[in-house]
Each structure stands twice: as structure tokens, then as C-alpha cells.
Amino acid sequence: MRLGNHTRAALIAMAIVFLGTSPSPGGLAGVEGDVEFLHSDPYAGSVAVAGDFNGWSTDADPLEMDENGVWRVVLDLEPGRYEYKFVINGSQWIADPDNPKLVGEYGNSELVVGDDGQPTEAVETGAAEPVSNTPLSSRVKLDGWYRATYNTVSNVPSDPRWRLERPAHEVYLAIKPTVNENVTGDVTLRMNTGAGDIQRIYAEFYSGNVVLSGSAFGVLGYYNEERYQFDNPLEQLGHYDLDGTILRERIYFGRGAQGVALDADIGPTTLVFVYTSIYDWDIYNDPAIYDNTGTDLLAGRLKWPTGPVTLGATWTSLRDGWWINYLGDNVIPELDDYVEETGSESDWFELSITEQVGGVDVTWPAMEELLTVKAEVGYASYRARWDMGNKELIEGSDYSNGKIDVPVGDTAGWVPKLILFSDPIPPLSLRLDVKHTNIDGMSEDEEWVSYETPIWGGVPRRQYNDVGSAGSPLVIGVWGPSPGRDDWETEFDAGFKFGIFDALLEYDWGKYNWEYYETFFDEGATSGATFTWSGRRSRLALQSRVDLREDDKLWFGLDTEVMGFSVDDGGVYDPLDTWELILLARWEFVGQWSLVGDLRWMTYYDIPKDEGEEENGDGGAAARNGETYTDTFFDPFLAVEWNLRTNIKVQFSYGVNPTNYIDTPVEGRGNGRERWRSYYQWTHSLVDEVDAEKALADAQTLGIMAVLTF
């Protein structure tokens, strides 16, 4: 469909939203013998109350909006019965959403003023989420946002000129029906300009859910929504931190997944069961493309109190089932042996990877409001098998899928964890985590298979293409046997909030001991040996903020992170030491105008010299000399924001936006620079993280972004 048709459809949708959307809840209250009318709608341009007490005038009694988007007016009314409505933007008439008393053929709100001059029944404002804000339906609420971004860039690789990038336009429309108090839903649609034909726009089902709730049981069906987090110490189903952010920019489980969850409260016992298909983990490919990994998750958690403690049991199982083309370019030695031994006719085989963790935990309030203890012991296992072939059975005259059992690799071990919480002084909170991982290593003839690079890193022995279908973008890596691991990891957190000062300190320390088998190939001969590797990791991160004025009008922040690694025997896993420093500030200097600053310095230590770059003088970090070197990069982000209204923001900026605004909530996520570097590494071969950091520091960006929420 061309732009014209899409534009008409988009205009109709936007007209429904902007013209058909009415405000959030309002209410009535008594104020010293008078009546206070309240209406919460930060997006309205004007609100007035019209009723038979003022001749239904649309301008006699205007409301004034406070800083929280709540409109208010206090009127002195004589005792008696009245009818009224709110008038939005001078033309849209609505009944008070928080007043259930509707009367007459026009559906006016009813107000009864007592002898004391106050309403006989006050309606609490904002007491509940409104089920509707549109006259199209009394059970449907509409909201969302529109975002437009225009960037011009200079000094990007291979092009020093100032060039206008393709403008990006996005519309998110959320439709939230409420059938009754037990049945609700939420569907968000996304329309954007995309990266293809400039005359086309693209629409997708972005996220959604349906909730069925009862007295003891509940069912949730969800798609691409952050919904769940188990509260067991091992966090088998929980949040994760975004790459490229200091401390926490966390996403709860459910983003990039679709499935169903059931929960039950049977007396004091609670049970949650989740069945999910994970569809868009971004592995190996263009960071802008989502990969269907074919991963299914089964998870359950049970909790029950007994005496002063709460006991829990948690189980998770991740299963990948990949059909892989055997007759293509893939090299699969174990299947070669199987086909030779059995005479199999299969040309596609399924590789099954199952990773399971089961654990039991306890929570004990050892000292009320002073010390809480949580502990869990988990058993983790990994199992890889070729378990199916497409021509293993004959049904009539046709081939059919049949089971096989060709082992690839297995390993298992124990993972205990202890957590201590303490609030010794009200402004101070402390937490200590200690985790021990003891996993058996694989034998020399086993292999580790995954779409993710394993923690011990390295280069895969080989890769499988055509996963699931010919030409599939998903690539599966095959590594040597996983090492036996004897790891200790400790995390200490301290939070402090007092007055205008807020700080969070985190110190992590890890000690790792691995024993692994490595294979060598030399002139057709194969040999191998067992090696040991040990290393330590330390991380110190601080996140602090000082609010000098209320309501975020003037604040300063400092985020910093130091990462250090010590490797006794390199070659397997030897990352660079780093120090990252970010200075942040926001100042509302006049009216609706604000200055925003996000200045970042990144230092890498002991970077290996690249001989080729020194010889040819191009690519990479030009300052490299000696065996190793240290380099610091500076990439600032400065912006002027114009908040025309509560729901309208225009930003004029310099630098790469650190709050990534692609496929995110309207407030963004703090991984913009990480996405920029990842995309640079994807589009430029033979570059490393230091090269990407240098390119980010050299690039210049001028941008305009406008955001409208509704």
C-alpha cells in the first residue's frame, strides 16, 4: 500500500485519538463550606465546569491546572441539587468520569449540596484507573504517543560531510478494553516509517495482554510486555540489565516473548506457572533485526509460609529446537557418523538444547526491620542432542519425522546463593549477595552449542546456517567442550537517600577457575590438551544525584564505573580494563525551557597494538603505539528542551542520544550509545569495541526530536 492510503488510515486513527479522547478521572470535594471540582487531564488546553448553577456557560467557571496535571476550581453553591459537565478545550462536553451519578437524557453528572455548602457525597479524585476516556466506548481507553526524529551527522566513517539521515516517525496507539473487573486487556499498535521504501510506512502488533482474574486464580496471556520476575535469589526468571548502562537500566521478563501465565493463591500458598515462546533475542545479526531463536520457556514458582520463614521452590527450563539443513554447507561430524551407521535418508535434523535450573529457597526475617536472610540451592544442567530427523519413519509411501538420539554435550552442577538485606539506619540500605557456581566440565569429545557466545568466549569451531529454513538469518555456533567451573561471585550494594541527596554504590567481585579441553589441528592431524584458567573481576559503580529544586527543575548527577580484570593465564577470556564517567544535569532555566547535559568519558587500559593499523595508517585507533596503550574517548550529549505542554516536548540536541528512542517506551532507555556502537561493529568488519568507541567519539550529530503523548 502506498503512502496515500496509509496516510488516510493514519489520519483517521489519529483523529479518533485526538478528537475522541476525553480526560482522565475527576471528582468532587468539600473545601471549607464550598465545592471543589477536580479533573485530571495534563493534556487539555482548557477545562471549565458548566452546569445549571451558571446557566451552562462554557467560560464562567474555568479550572486551573496544577503541576501534576489536575485542574481545580472552588465554587460557592447554595444547598440544593445541580447538574453539570466538564467542557474540554472549549468544545468537548463530558460527564465527570469519577462521579457515578448520571441523570437526564443528556447524561449529566449530578451534584447535591448539603446545608453546610459541601457535596453530600465526595468523590475521591484519581482513586482508580479510568476504564474509558473516549465517547466511542464506555469500556475502552485510548492512549499512546507520536515521535519524530531528525538527525544530521558529520564525520561518520567514510563520509566527513554533514548529511541528513532519513527522518524517523513513529506512532504507538494503545487500546485498553475493560469487559468487567475480571476481564481486561491492552493492545499496542506501532506505525513507523521503517528503513525501506521512503513511500511506505509499516504497522505491527507491538505488544498486548489479556487478563482473566478471579478470587483465587488468574490467567494472563501476553505478547512483548515486561510482566514477570520471580523473587527467588537465583532470579531464574527475572530482570536483566541493559548493555552499556551503569548500574541498572532493567527490563523485566516478558519483553521479546509471548506466552501465558497462571497464578493461584490457595490459602497462604502462591503458585505461578509460565509457558512462553521467546522470539526476538538479537543474536549475531544486524542489531536492528530480531531473530526467532525457537526458544521455549517453562517455569514455575511455589511459595508457602511456615512459622517465621517463607519457603519456595522454583524450576525453569529453556528448550531450543532447531531444524538444521544437513545437506547444505553445514559440517556436522556426529551426524556424518550416524548417517553412515544407520543409512538415514534425512536431510534435515533437529538439534535440541535443554537448559534447566531447579532450586529451593528460604526467606527468614532474622531481625525485624534490621536483617533479612534469603538463601537458595539450585541444580543446573545443560543437555544437547540431535533428537529428530525428517525422514526417519515411513508412513504409507511417505517419509515422516522420527526420533533419534545422537549426543552432543552434557554438563551439570550446583549453584547456591545467599542474600543478606539490612536497613540499619532509615536513610541507609545494605545488601550482600554471595554466589558459588560449581559445574562439571564436558569430556574432550563433547561440544557446547548455542546462539550466544558462552561466558568463556573464544571462537566457535564451526557454525550452522539455514536454521529452521533455507536462508534463515539465525546462526548457531559450536564451541569446544565447556570447562569445569568453580566460580565465586560477590555483590555489595549500599543505597543512601537523605534530603536532596540520593546515591547508590555497588561493588562486585568474582573469582573464576576453569578447566577446559582445547583441540589443535595441524596439517591434517588432530591433537588436544587440558588447560586451566583462572581470573578475577572487580567492578565498582556509583550512581548519585542532587536535586536542588523540586519537580526535577534543577538537578545534577554523577555516574561512574570502574571494571578491572586479572587473568593468571590468558588466551580464553581476557577483557580490557575500563573506567567510565558520566556527568548529568538538567536545569529548567526559564518557563518551559530546559537544558540537559550528559557528558561521558570512557577509558580503556592495556589495549593490544594492531600492527596492521600502524603500517597502513587507516582504520582503528590511530594513536596506537607500543605493545599496549591506553586511550580515553569523550562523547557529549547536550540538548535544549522545550516543554510546550505537559504532553508535548521538542528537543534540540548535539551528540548521540544516550536514551535510545527506537522501539522503546516513550521515556526511552539508557542504552543509546551501546546501540550505536553495536550497529557500527555490525556494519564495519574487523573492528573491535575500541574502534567503535573511537568512531562514536569522532561522529557529530545534530538532532531535533518531537514527542507528543496522548
Strands of 484-576, DSSP E: 484-498, 501-522, 525-547, 554-567
- CB-based contact 250:240 (threshold 8 Å): yes
pLDDT digits (tens, 9 = 90+) for 617-632: 334 444 444 578 899 9
| 8-state DSSP, 481 | P
Indicate left, alpha or beta for 198 from its phi (over 0: left) and psi (-120 to 50: alpha).
Answer: alpha
Residue 402 has pLDDT above 50, yes or no: yes
Q: Quote the pLDDT of residue 202.
A: 83
- Look at the alpha carbons of 400, 404, 408, 409 in this order and tell me if their dihedral is positive or negative: positive
Q: What are phi and psi of 289, to 5 degrees?
A: -110, 135
Residue 324 has pLDDT above 50, yes or no: yes
| 22-132 is classed CATH 1.10.3720.10 | no
Report percent pLDDT > 90 for the chain: 46
Q: Quote the pLDDT of residue 686.
A: 77
pLDDT digits (tens, 9 = 90+) for 194-243: 666 667 788 888 999 999 998 889 999 999 888 888 999 998 888 777 87
Q: Quote the pLDDT of residue 614.
A: 43
List 467's β-bridge partners, or say none: 324
Least confident of 54-68, 100-114, 180-194, 285-299: 285-299
Mean pLDDT of the chain: 84
d(CA 600, CA 697): 10
Least confident of 9-13, 306-310, 355-359: 9-13
Burial class from Cβ neighbours inside 10 Å (0-12, 13-18, 19+) for residue 618 reads: exposed
pLDDT digits (tens, 9 = 90+) for 557-602: 999 999 999 887 655 567 889 999 999 999 998 878 999 999 999 9
Nearest to 384 by CA among 339, 467, 442: 442
- CA 8 to each of CA 200, 204, 386, 701: distance values in angstroms, whole numbers, following the listed order: 13, 17, 52, 33
156: confidence class by pLDDT, cuts 50, 70, 90: low
Amino acid at position 120, single letter: T
Amino acid at position 371, single letter: L
d(CA 121, CA 131): 22
Least confident of 174-183, 197-206, 415-424, 597-606: 197-206
Residue 151 has pLDDT above 80, yes or no: yes
Residue 124 has pLDDT above 50, yes or no: no
**Mean of pLDDT values over 78-98:** 86
d(CA 608, CA 653): 35
Nearest to 131 by CA among 91, 173, 175, 189: 175
**Mean of pLDDT values over 374-386:** 97
**Mean of pLDDT values over 469-474:** 78
At residue 4, the 3 state secondary structure works out as helix
Q: What is the DSSP string of 117-174?
A: SSBSS-B-TTSS--S--BTTBTTEEEEEEEEEEEEEEESBTTB-S-EEPPPEEEEEEE
Q: Quote the pLDDT of residue 522.
A: 61
Calculate the CA dihedral of residues 246, 251, 256, 257 and round it to 10 degrees.
150
Calculate the CA dihedral of residues 274, 277, 279, 280 and round it to 10 degrees.
20
Residue 512 has pLDDT above 50, yes or no: yes
Calculate the CA dihedral of residues 619, 623, 628, 634 and round it to 10 degrees.
-90
Nearest to 347 by CA among 372, 316, 325: 325
